[in-house]
Chain A
Amino acid sequence: MIKVLIAEDDKLCRTILDNNLKKWGYEVLTTENGKEAWAAIQKDKVQIAILDWIMPEVDGVELCEKIRKTNLGHYIYIIMLTIKDQQTDIRKGFAAGVDDYITKPFDTHELKARLQTGKRIIGLQNQLLESQKKLQELAIHDTLTNLLNRYEILNVLQDEFHRALREGTFVSTVMLDIDFFKNINDRHGHGVGDEVLIEVASRLKKTLRRYDKIGRYGGDEFLVVLPGCDQKNATRISDRLRRAVCGKSIETEAGLLTVTISAGCASTEKTTSSSIENLVKISDKAMYHAKNVGRNCVVAS
């Protein structure tokens, strides 16, 4: 339901507006002056505002300017109530950011139609915001596994790295690689390979702490960022991740497959990393060492 705010100091006009709007299916908030209206706007998600031009405390134009200058997080469609002899001021209203106006005493059908226009504009705005949100999500996520993509996980690491420096704490990284993944693809096809990637990603994500972050770093590589984590705990968490993957077979189109991962972890506790690139490099090197010593294991740098 669309929420409409009425700011009108005349009780009679306010009552008529309130009655009509509710009959037409709007949720209504009524206020008596500009100051009350501003307080209500900051508290509630008002989508349409019907403002009287002349009001005590803060008038309609001033309120409109305030609304337009403030980032409320959503658009408010503003309809100004004017009286016939104020028409020369209409330009002032539009310059302040008013979307539409209606003269008092208003014609009900006209008001209803103008509100419908406002509703349409708000609908378009909401669609735009929704699309924007989806695009933003797509921009930072890997579409197959729904984990953060490489770009975003490195952004996260950058933030956590600097936070650790500021706060005098640690950050650890874990590089994980699926063992013999090329064999899975070659033997069973890329479709099965994708099924394995999705399931491994899911198990890893579920095993992490709430504030840890994971991203798909490469084809079958994952990078985990562990904020506030020292080497000992990073090793412990890495092994937990390893066991989450190999502990149960993965159901695929090709049947049940046993999948393992090799993990290499690094922590700012034990390294003198001056950059995130260096930290990632160290955990990558540790992961390769895990491959060399037999796979399905964890090596700490």
Chain B
Amino acid sequence: MNEETQQNLPIDYPSALARIGNDESFLKELLELYLTDFEAKHTDLKTAIEVMDFTSIQELGHSLKGSSANLSLTFLQEASFEMELAGRDRDIDKAKKAHLALQQEFESLKTHLAAKN
């Protein structure tokens, strides 16, 4: 896989694998865990945006940023960080924009994983 192709992938495989001793089956397990965790946090985020609960928006953004970073899910990490900042800055438009980006990147990840399997 060339560098350009690698850069477009939702997951930075070398970085993610290095963190877990190059265990591919463990990575698969962790990604499944991530998908479940994301769904739950996504539901909470939707509610938080609806009621303009900026504290929750920031906390959820922060949490998603952390778990995305652990699996080197670069684009999801960036979108989560935007969400965290939106919560910190109490900017609802920014939060909605970040929410859209998160959804898109998440779908992208799911598509990629389904194709891989």
A interface residues (Cβ-Cβ under 8 A, vs B): 9-13, 15-16, 19-20, 23, 54, 83, 104-108
B56 at the interface (CB under 8 A from A): no
B21 touches A10 (CB 8 A): no
B108 at the interface (CB under 8 A from A): no
Set of chain B residues within 8 Å of A54, measured between Cβ atoms: 62
A11 and B37 contact, CB distance less than 8 A: yes
Query: Any chain A CB within 8 A of the CB of B19?
Result: yes
Please give me the residue from chain A that is nearest to B15 by CB atom.
Answer: A105
Give 18 A-B contacts (CB < 8 Å), ordered by A residue: A10-B66, A12-B66, A12-B67, A12-B71, A13-B67, A13-B70, A15-B33, A16-B19, A16-B20, A16-B70, A19-B20, A19-B21, A19-B23, A19-B26, A104-B70, A105-B19, A108-B19, A108-B20
In the complex formed, the residue of A with least CB distance to B34 is A12
Task: Return A87 CB to nearest CB of chain B, in Å.
Answer: 15
- 6 closest Cβ pairs, A-B complex: A105-B69, A12-B67, A105-B70, A10-B66, A12-B70, A108-B19
| B85 CB → nearest A CB, Å | 10
Say whether A12 contacts B33, CB under 8 Å. yes
Are the C-beta atoms of B72 and A105 separated by less than 8 Å?
A: yes
Task: Give Cα A83 to B61, complex, Å.
Answer: 14
Question: Beyond A13-B67, A83-B65, A107-B19: 19 further Cβ-contacts under 8 Å?
Answer: A9-B63, A10-B66, A10-B70, A11-B67, A12-B30, A12-B67, A12-B70, A13-B66, A16-B19, A16-B70, A19-B20, A19-B26, A20-B20, A104-B66, A104-B70, A105-B66, A105-B69, A106-B19, A108-B20
Query: Would B21 and A20 count as touching, CB distance under 8 A?
Result: yes
Residues of B within 8 A of A107 (CB): 18-19
Q: Report chain B residues within 8 Å CB of A20.
A: 20-21
Cβ-closest chain B residue relative to A23: B21
Bound CA–CA A257/B47 (angstroms): 93
Partner of B30, one of A9, A15, A83: A15
